[in-house]
Amino acid sequence: MSLLPTMLERIARARIDLRMGLPVVLTAADRAVLAIAVESLTPARLADLRALGAVTLALTARRAATLKARVYDDGLARIPVPADVDLDWIQALADPADDLNTPMKGPLSSLRDGAADLPALALALTKSARLLPAVAFIDLPDAGGFALRHDLTLLPKSTAEPLLNSSSPLHPVAAARLPMFASEVGRLHIFRPDDGGEEHYAIEIGRPDRSKPVLARLHSACFTGDVLGSLKCDCGPQLQGALAQMGREATGVLLYLNQEGRGIGLANKMRAYSLQDQGFDTVEANHRLGFEDDERDFRLGASILRELGFSAVRLMTNNPGKIAMMQNTGIAVTERVPLKVGENAFNRAYLATKAAKSGHLL
């Protein structure tokens, strides 16, 4: 018997460490770095890092493009942090909130030499922790001894990276009858992943026949739209519209995936909204923050459908990406059912951007 944490458990721990402002140790065969999320970096921890070595900032290629910093590495830029700058300088590079007030942040000279794989892993971890994707790091000799002495989480890249990139299996945890406005014959199922990540839900309407394509909706969480009735998007009316149609047909399954803000988390979505208040569209705002247009993992939806016994769906969506992902993960999409509801004066431009830039069908 061993109580040592598995790699999956260590990754879950690393996510929490980064959110709490603790550094983590990442290792490759012949190298190691000590990495900390810029979002939760404090002046005291920055001083600790500086006492150990020269600090470098890793930013995604998306954020680097906004800052006009050269990208020599695959998907990211490494920028040396001058010894005389303070935490505000670092955080202003990571967070675009003040970009328009302080447009000249450079010139920034990105590193060309040396490996970028460990900073890339650190950035992937900050994304999965739903933090701003920006990391301060130093090179570390004697990583194993250092991690042990300082009680820090250590992740070897060779085993951690494949797990971070794969979709964790989801297991049913609990289910119960749930009469709803849309249908009195409802059932809510809760699914939990192995990796300490978010739980996701399936709402079954009626008693769908598993041998036939089921009317299905993959809905991504939108606290602002679903709960608050925000008019900035169409999520609330889409959620209610999908349930209503399933109610009318007396059968269907709605997957409620906790991938708020197209997978960037609610805090980052509010950062994106604040950039939208400055005039950027939904895609530009994600890019300025350092994210891709869409950071969701739709493999989760296929995994839940399979777990519930479905293999074919009539998918309610306007997003061709969702259809492609379903097909790739082995769930047949026999029909696309359009879901066009909730357009208003506040979300018209947002919906037009999704059609123009993200390939959404009108």
Ligand X SMILES: Nc1nc2c(ncn2[C@@H]2O[C@H](COP(=O)(O)OP(=O)(O)OP(=O)(O)O)[C@@H](O)[C@H]2O)c(=O)[nH]1
Residue 110 or 319: the one with the smaller Cβ distance to ligand X is 319
Residues 271-300 that bind ligand X (CB under 6 A): 272, 282, 286
Annotated ligand binding at 200? The verdict is no
Q: Please pick, from the candidates 118, 122, 222, 308, the single residue that binds ligand X as defined by CB under 6 A.
A: 222
At residue 24, what is the residue type?
A: V
Q: Rule CB under 6 A: which of 142-171 touch ligand X? A: none
* β-bridge mates for residue 191, sequence order: 172, 200
Residue 6 to residue 24: CA distance in whole angstroms = 16
Verify whether residue 294 is a known catalytic residue: yes
Nearer to Zn ion, 206 or 225 (CB): 225
Nearer of residues 164 and 272 to Zn ion, judged by Cβ:
272
Residue 200, CA distances (Å) to 15, 20, 121, 177, 190 in order? 19, 24, 25, 17, 6
Residue 120 annotated in ligand binding: no
Chain centre distance of CA 309 = 27
Joined together, the tokens standing for residue 100 give 């328009």
Residue 66 labelled as part of a binding site: no
Q: Which of 26, 39, 317, 342 binds ligand X (CB under 6 A)?
A: 317
Number of residues interacting with ligand X: please give it, by CB under 6 A.
22
Which residues have a Cβ under 8 Å from the Cβ of 6 and sit 6 or more positions away? none
> Where along the sequence are the contacts to Zn ion (CB under 5 A)?
222, 225, 233, 235
Closest CA to 22 of 162, 175, 161, 131: 131
Q: Indicate which single residue of 318, 326, 333, 342 sits in contact with ligand X (rule: CB under 6 A).
A: 318
Cα angle 234-302-168, degrees, rounded to a multiple of 5: 105
Separation of alpha carbons 268 and 87, rounded Å: 20
59 is in an annotated binding site: no
Among residues 22 and 242, whose Cβ is nearest to ligand X?
A: 242
Q: Is 217 known to sit in a ligand binding site?
A: yes
Binder of ligand X out of 319, 325, 333, 342 (CB under 6 A): 319
144 is in an annotated binding site: no
User: Are residues 128 and 168 in contact, defined by beta-carbon separation less than 8 angstroms?
Assistant: no
Q: Measured in whole angstroms, how far is the alpha carbon of residue 357 from the centre of its chain? A: 19
Q: Render 247-271 in DSSP notation, one character per residue.
A: HHHT-EEEEEE--HHHHT-HHHHHH
Chain mean position to CA 156: 22
**Residue 270 Cβ vs ligand X, minimum distance, rounded to whole Å:** 9
Contact with ligand X (CB under 6 A) among 10, 130, 269, 271 = 269
φ/ψ region of 281 (left if φ > 0, alpha if ψ in -120 to 50, else beta) reads: beta
Distance CA 65, CA 54 (A): 24
Binders of ligand X in range 327-356 (CB under 6 A): 354
Residue 222 in marked binding region: yes
Nearer to ligand X, 56 or 224 (CB): 224
Judged by CB, which is closer to Zn ion: 60, or 220?
A: 220
Question: Which positions from 227 to 256 touch ligand X by CB under 6 A, shown as an x/- string?
Answer: ------x-x--x------------------
List b or e across 329-341, with b for residues whose CB sees 16 or more CB atoms inside 10 angstroms.
bebebeebbebee
Interface with ligand X, residue 262, by CB under 6 A = yes
Residue 286 CB, shortest distance to ligand X, in Å, is 5
Of residues 22, 140, 264, 305, which one binds ligand X by CB under 6 A?
A: 264
Note whether 260 binds ligand X by CB under 6 A: yes
260 is in an annotated binding site: yes
Of the residues 294, 306, 314, 336, only one is catalytic, namely: 294
So which residues are the catalytic ones? 294, 296
Q: Which residues bind ligand X (CB under 6 A)?
A: 219-222, 233, 235, 238, 259-262, 264, 269, 272, 282, 286, 317-319, 322, 354, 360
